[in-house]
């Protein structure tokens, strides 16, 4: 066999790793169709890192000469440096990142480059590259989540006492605060942070040494490679190692859940920014205008994040569908996994950053929110609890408060406390003058200081709990 430096490749196709067996090669369009370089070029540094650990191990185990292993490792380190500096560009015509890196190595070192793939298949190689990439990128994404939660918590603290209507069925339900609402969002994002961490723990196993599906007869040291690459341990079973994409499913699901959360938050923002609600004023720099209607200030960022949740949900379905019924072990179908997961990870990252910018700059309209707490009988539950505190069974108290609401609607009053004490007593003798104080929106919020409640002091406690979790 000659080296590529002696025999320049004159075929119209880039060099492939499987040329020997097939005399006829795919046509250019067909070759490009099955190539994955456009997607897996992102794994370049991970591919080099995996190869460095592999060749070092091959040298130590005496599978290749020690000097050759050292030369390969040095060249791979140089390649990584050049890729980072931009002096080596990934060839977009290559089949995939694995053949590209091996090709560069072979161009530069001849037969030494041809030794690198001993005991390895692209099936375990891509599995290790993908996992290494996720071990780098997912912690960054958790950092974006933490940064976003911090912004929400700062705003929650600022608005811990800003009363606003809380909704069920998008109907005014009970008074809460903007702080309570923002801590609700933060709690959901904190769970998302946990989901990404869980997935990372499970994917922290090194598939290298699994070969195509059946390992290798060469005396590879899988423990050493796993350790060198920073994995907790090697994977248990070679066939599972090349077939498994659970980590992509789990992370795809974590991304989808995070995006669904963001879409719900953004829906609230869109509603709140409307003239009808006017609970918030988005910063001008986090809004866009209209090409025809001169007056418009639109919540485009919130809408776009809401819309992008569809991608993450779609990518998860793509991944699930890709794996459904797939025979063991590796199948080329699996090549489709990366595009979907990369897109989900990119989408979550971008959306978290935009959502954070928007949330950090918007202003809640305290007056509008407070005014909105009056008129929907949001105090009715508290009126019932007022009576329960004075000994009335809840079901009777509920009925009394309901009758008072009817009285108000008939009498044209917008709140139970717009009725006179005499009128209230006509429904229940248990009402006293202190009811007027007890049923103001702020009082209704202040009294709900149970763990989880919206009372400002309790919301501040919840903020403290979440802040502490972010530190761990």
What are the residues binding ligand ARG (CB under 6 A)?
A: 36, 40, 96, 122-123, 126, 330, 332, 334-335
Phi, psi for 365 (deg, rounded to 5): -95, 90
Q: Which is nearer to ligand ARG, 8 or 20 (CB)?
A: 20
Write down the least CB distance from residue 98 to ligand ARG, Å.
Answer: 6
Q: Which is nearer to ligand ARG, 334 or 372 (CB)?
A: 334
Name the β-bridge partners of 298.
288
Q: Which is nearer to ligand ARG, 177 or 335 (CB)?
A: 335
Phi, psi for 42 (deg, rounded to 5): -65, -20
Q: Which is nearer to ligand ARG, 127 or 359 (CB)?
A: 127
Write down the least CB distance from residue 127 to ligand ARG, Å.
Answer: 8
Contacts of 154 (CB under 8 A, 6+ apart): 360
The two three-digit tokens of residue 224, written as one number: 């050493």
Q: What angle do CA 367, 371, 373 make, to 5 degrees?
A: 120
Q: Specify whether the CB–CB gap between 121 and 99 falls below 8 A.
A: no
Round to whole Å and give the CA distance between 39 and 96.
9
Write down the least CB distance from residue 130 to ligand ARG, Å.
Answer: 8
Residues with catalytic function: 169, 290
Write down the least CB distance from residue 195 to ligand ARG, Å.
Answer: 25
Round to whole Å and give the CA distance between 341 and 252.
6
Round to whole Å and give the CA distance between 388 and 430.
10
Contacts of 220 (CB under 8 A, 6+ apart): 57, 58, 61, 63, 119, 209
Q: Which is nearer to ligand ARG, 142 or 338 (CB)?
A: 338
Q: Specify whether the CB–CB gap between 130 and 338 falls below 8 A.
A: yes
Q: Using alpha carbons, select from 347, 354, 409, 403 the residue that is nearest to residue 376.
A: 409
Write down the least CB distance from residue 156 to ligand ARG, Å.
Answer: 43
Write down the least CB distance from residue 38 to ligand ARG, Å.
Answer: 11
Q: Which is nearer to ligand ARG, 324 or 332 (CB)?
A: 332
The two three-digit tokens of residue 342, written as one number: 């990369």
Write down the least CB distance from residue 182 to ligand ARG, Å.
Answer: 41
Write down the least CB distance from residue 24 to ligand ARG, Å.
Answer: 18
Q: Which is nearer to ligand ARG, 101 or 269 (CB)?
A: 101
């Amino acid at each position: 066999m000659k080296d590529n430096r002696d025999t320049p490749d004159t075929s119209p196709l880039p060099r492939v790793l499987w040329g020997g067996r097939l005399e006829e090669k795919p046509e250019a369009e067909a070759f490009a169709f099955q190539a994955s370089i456009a997607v897996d070029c992102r794994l370049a540094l991970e591919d080099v890192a995996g190869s460095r650990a592999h060749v070092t191990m091959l040298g130590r185990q005496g599978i290749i000469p020690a000097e050759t292993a050292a030369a390969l490792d040095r060249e791979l380190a140089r390649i990584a440096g050049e890729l980072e500096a931009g002096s080596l560009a990934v060839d977009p015509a290559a089949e995939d990142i694995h053949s590209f890196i091996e090709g560069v190595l072979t161009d530069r070192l001849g037969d030494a480059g041809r030794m690198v793939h001993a005991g390895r298949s692209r099936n375990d190689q891509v599995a290790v590259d993908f996992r290494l990439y996720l071990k780098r990128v997912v912690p960054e994404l958790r950092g974006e989540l933490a940064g976003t939660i911090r912004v929400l918590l700062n705003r929650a603290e600022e608005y811990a006492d800003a009363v606003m209507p809380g909704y069920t069925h998008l109907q005014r339900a009970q008074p809460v605060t903007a702080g309570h609402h923002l801590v609700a969002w933060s709690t959901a994002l904190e769970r998302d942070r946990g989901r990404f961490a869980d997935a990372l723990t499970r994917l922290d196993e090194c598939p290298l040494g699994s070969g195509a599906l059946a390992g290798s007869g060469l005396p590879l040291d899988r423990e050493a490679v796993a350790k060198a690459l920073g994995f907790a341990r090697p994977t248990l079973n070679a066939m599972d190692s090349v077939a498994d994409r659970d980590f992509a499913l789990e992370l795809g699901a974590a991304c989808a859940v995070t995006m669904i959360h963001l879409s719900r938050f953004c829906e609230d923002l869109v509603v709140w920014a409307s003239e009808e609600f006017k609970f918030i004023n988005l910063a001008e720099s986090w809004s866009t205008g209209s090409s025809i209607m001169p007056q418009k200030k639109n919540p485009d960022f919130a809408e776009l994040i809401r819309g992008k949740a569809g991608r993450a949900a779609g990518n998860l379905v793509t991944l699930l569908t890709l794996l459904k019924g797939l025979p063991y072990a590796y199948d080329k179908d699996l090549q489709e996994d990366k595009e979907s997961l990369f897109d989900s990870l990119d989408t979550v990252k971008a959306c978290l950053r935009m959502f954070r910018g928007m949330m950090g700059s918007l202003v809640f309209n305290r007056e509008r929110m407070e005014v909105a707490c009056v008129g929907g009988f949001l105090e009715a539950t508290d009126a019932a609890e007022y009576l329960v505190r004075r000994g009335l069974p809840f079901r009777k108290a509920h009925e009394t408060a309901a009758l008072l609401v009817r009285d108000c609607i008939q009498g044209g009053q917008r709140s139970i406390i717009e009725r006179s004490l005499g009128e209230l007593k006509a429904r229940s003798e248990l009402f006293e003058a202190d009811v007027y104080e007890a049923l103001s929106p702020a009082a209704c919020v202040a009294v709900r200081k149970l763990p989880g409640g919206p009372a400002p002091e309790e919301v501040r406690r919840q903020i403290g709990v979440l802040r502490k979790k972010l530190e761990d």
